[in-house]
Amino acid sequence: MSDIGKKQPKEYSDRFDELRQNRVALSYYKYGTAADNFGMGLVNALDSHDLCIKKYLATGNTEYLCNAANYLMFEFMYPQRNGAYFRATDSGESAGVAGTPVTNLNRDKHFDAVTKM
């Protein structure tokens, strides 16, 4: 179990990581190496990710979420986008979220009563 999984089990899923890693292990034998498939540009990780999300939305099968996450990992490892890089950003450069995080809600007596804060 990961450190964050132990300390904050409602914030991180070690089970998701386990299921995701199992699928990578199996895919190695089914499809070949990630280095070949993604590194050589034979498989498009981002398009494959999108296919998994569509399948999840159609079926509700969360296995597709594990597969989608793996495709994002492969894009990270073997980026097909020219000029791809990693740089940590602060909230001012955030892509944003769809919805309103609980910390952004106007706190009032009703909110406090409902959330027992």
Residue 55 lies in a domain: yes
Residue 2: Cβ within 10 Å count: 12
Residue 63 lies in a domain: yes
**Percent of the chain predicted with pLDDT > 90:** 75
Residue 68 lies in a domain: yes
**What is the arithmetic mean of pLDDT over 72-98?**
95
Q: Are 34 and 63 in contact (CB under 8 A)?
A: no
Residue 50 lies in a domain: yes
Q: How does pLDDT run across 53-79, given as a tens digit for each residue? A: 999 999 999 999 999 999 999 999 999
Q: Which of 57, 59, 64, 60 is nearest to 23 (CA)?
A: 64
Give 47 or 109, the one with higher predicted confidence. 47
Residue 89 lies in a domain: no
Residue 1 lies in a domain: no
- Count of domains observed in the chain: 1
CA distance 64 to 91: 29
Residue 105 lies in a domain: no
- The rounded mean pLDDT for the chain is 92
Q: How does pLDDT run across 29-42, given as a tens digit for each residue? A: 999 999 999 999 99
Question: What single letter denotes the amino acid at residue 55?
Answer: K
Give 24-64 as a DSSP string.
HHHHHHHH--HHHHTTTTSS-HHHHHHHHHHHHHHH--THH
Check residue 103 and give its pLDDT.
Answer: 83
Note down the domain range covering 28: 11-80
Q: Are 53 and 64 in contact (CB under 8 A)?
A: yes
Q: 49: which 2 tokens? A: 């990710």
Residue 111 lies in a domain: no
Distances (CA, A) of 87 to 39, 69, 70: 21, 20, 20
**pTM across the whole model:** 0.85
